[in-house]
Structure 1
Amino acid sequence: MLDIAILAAGFICLILGADKLVDASSSLAARLGIPNIVIGLTIVAFGTSAPELVVNLFAAVENNTEMVLGNVLGSNIFNVLAILGISSLIYPLTVKTNTTWLEIPLSLLAAVAVLVTAGDVYLDSSEAGYISRAEGLLLLLFFAIFLVYNLKIARGNPTDEGTETKDYPYLQAALYIGLGLAGLVLGGRLIVTSAVGIAQAFGLSERVIGLTVVSIGTSLPELATSVVAVRKRKVDIAIGNVVGSNIFNIFLILGVSTVVTPLQVNSGSFVDIVVNIAASLLLFAFVFTGKGRQLARWEGAVLLALYLTYLALLITQG
């Protein structure tokens, strides 16, 4: 019970810290004359991925490698199957051309990249899968290309990528940035420590805890952003937020985590890697079924049902 209470406190610190850090950093950037487009594509995008990044850094430093990979894969699976499933049940999601032909395929490429980098058992006949520092650096290079692509697209469509910023005085913004960073660090530390304790208490592996409790908790900012966007009928933001987050999770967060501590990939994780690829393929297929490039309500229901089934299998087999 104490570990569960600490875990909840960690998520609160983590999410509030990320939110305050984004608001204050965006305000400071706006005061310094940084374009709104750049703020949206860098500070805000990094902010929504900050929970996963901080948790993974702590897990990597403490050599909880199963949790590192579980958090990334679990977040991506939750993003596509649960968040897009819930969002499209609220209102059908229309997908932009750029998202259809570039970002969703890039998200699929990222999912396949995990299989390739971790597939030493199948590709090199090694005894175990292993993601090395060199492969982590390669993932970060892919992320740099994605970031440059996003900035180039934004410059051509400035009205699409803007973001609202709060107006804080310099001192207040600096204070909130410090508090936000402190919340991230404290929350990340509490989550990793308590998650390991919960796994040991219930006889679950770190992989299962990472794929379920930790990944869902760190994906709450994406869930909130997408649901609010759909309720305001800004459906392009909802799906772009999820697809962009999936690319960030693999290229940036897994890349950084692997550079800190190379990951040994256990056999059970290959099932999650395949599920992640299948979810991306299913999203791409659903975009082309029905009327136009749209994720319909029935497709959202299928996605959500698949996630609940996957979650149930994880828990029962964990």
Structure 2
Amino acid sequence: MTWLLILSGLVLLVVGGELLVRGAVSAARAIGISPLMIGLTLVGFGTSAPELVTSLIAAFQGAPGIAVGNVVGSNIANILLILGVTALIYPLAVAPPAFRRDGLALAGSTVACLGAVLWGFMDRWIGLLFVAVLVAYIAWAYRSERAAPDAEAEMHEHVAEDARAGPGGILGSVVLALVGIAATVGGARLLVGGAIELAQSAGISETVIGLTIVAVGTSLPELVACAVAALRRHADVALGNVIGSNIYNVLGILGITSSVHPIAIPVEIARLDIWVLIAATALVLLFLRTGWTLRRWEGAVFVLLYGAYAGYLVVDAGMA
């Protein structure tokens, strides 16, 4: 029954996130919002919706390990697993101008996450600060790319173009987005409830469940988006999805969640997982900086590293 709850929740999260993105993108196109703004905001927020709703529900249900582990684990999975698998499908080349600013924002948001984890508690003022920084980043990106269109603007427009459109007309698009929101909320409730039950019955901490099952499950929309982008030879879109998702996860999801409901950071995340995230972020920046390409062998290294990390969590949890 527990696994049925988890699987049902994951399915609803994936379906709900897809419907939400399709509805929101279609409505935005219908009222004339530019592809640049759609790529910068709606697609990024839409693919991060499963993480946001899951973390909010987990925080309100008194499961901070799932709320924070979901974000940290998703960001680790995004880099090591999703980018690794995507690079195995097709090597990811990136134009230096398209990567520099967003790569800097990725590094900055990851360091901010490290600071919050080491602080040990995310109060409302920290959450509001994170959200304010995210809004400022989006506004700066939009203004700079609109004023001087370059490879970065082209990347975000590709993100919007690759997003599947929903039914014609604003009404149909809004209905589709609302259905997506409902499915996402329902899926998150089932997933969090099942994850808490699994942790209690198996004697495993909620944090480990959040870092593994919940994190990978809520990252599935990014995996699908990146795989499709790689098959279409839109490497910039695949990288943009992961980089944007990781920025949104820290500044947006942790920010919104803690501004609504302050979160105590589990000490186990400070011992290992945040450092794995720091290392993964540094590694992807290094790999992309050397040749501006994520090659297949580098993707294989990422996948192997993720397998080793997940395997360690499982073995360590079993020995605890």
Q: What is the TM-score when the length of structure 1 is the normalising length?
A: 0.92
Partner of 1:307: 306
SS in 2 for 1:118: helix
Structure 1 partner of 2:156: 161
Q: Is the 8 A contact 1:154 1:160 kept in 2?
A: no
Q: Would you say the 8 A contact 1:9–1:187 is kept in 2?
A: yes
In structure 2, distance between residues paired with 1:314 and 1:261: 27
- Residue 81 of structure 1: CA displacement? 0.6
Find the counterpart in structure 1 of residue 136 from structure 2.
Answer: 145
For residues 147 and 48 of structure 1, what CA distance do their matches in structure 2 show?
16
Mapped partners of 2:140, 2:51: distance in 1: 23
Residues 27 and 205 from structure 1, CA distance in 2 versus in 1: closer, same or farther, beyond 3 angstroms?
same
Query: Aligned pair count?
Result: 307
The structural deviation recorded for 1:99 is 4.4
Q: How big is the shift at 1:167?
A: 4.5
Q: CA deviation at 1:62?
A: 1.3
Which one-letter code corresponds to 1:142 in the other structure? V
Preserved contact between residue 14 and residue 184 of structure 1 (Cα < 8 Å): yes
Aligned AA for 1:70?
Answer: G
**CA 1:175–1:288 in 2, change beyond 3 Å: closer, same or farther?**
closer
1:61 and 1:260 in contact (8 A); partners too: no
Following TM superposition, by how much is the alpha carbon of 1:241 offset from its aligned partner in structure 2, in angstroms? 0.8
- SS of match in other structure, 1:119: helix
3-state SS, counterpart of residue 269 of structure 2: helix
8 Å Cα contact 2:155-2:240 kept in structure 1? no
Determine the C-alpha separation between the residues in 1 that align with 2:308 and 2:99. 27
| Residue 121 of structure 2 is aligned to residue 130 of structure 1 | yes
Question: Helix, strand or coil for the counterpart of 2:264?
Answer: strand
Partners of 1:171 and 1:101 lie apart in 2 by 39
Q: Deviations over 1:138-167 (max 9, x none)?
A: 111211122113313442335443324344
Alignment check: 8 A CA contact 2:155 2:237 kept: no
Deviates more, 1:75-84 or 1:173-182: 173-182
Are 2:221 and 1:218 aligned?
no
1:73 is matched with 72
1:178-257 paired onto structure 2 within 5 Å:
178-257=178-257
In structure 2, C-alpha distance between the alignment counterparts of 1:244 and 1:142, rounded to whole Å: 14
Q: Which amino acid in structure 2 is aligned with residue 86 of structure 1?
A: V
CA distance in 2, matches of 1:64, 1:283: 31
Cα deviation digits, residues 181-221 of structure 1 (max 9, x gap):
21111111111111101111111111000000000000001
For residue 176 of structure 1, what is the aligned residue in structure 2? 176
State whether residues 140 and 255 of structure 1, in contact with CA within 8 Å, keep that contact through their aligned partners in structure 2: yes
User: Which runs of no fewer than 5 residues in structure 1 stay unpaired?
Assistant: 121-128
Identity %: 39
TM-score (norm 2): 0.91
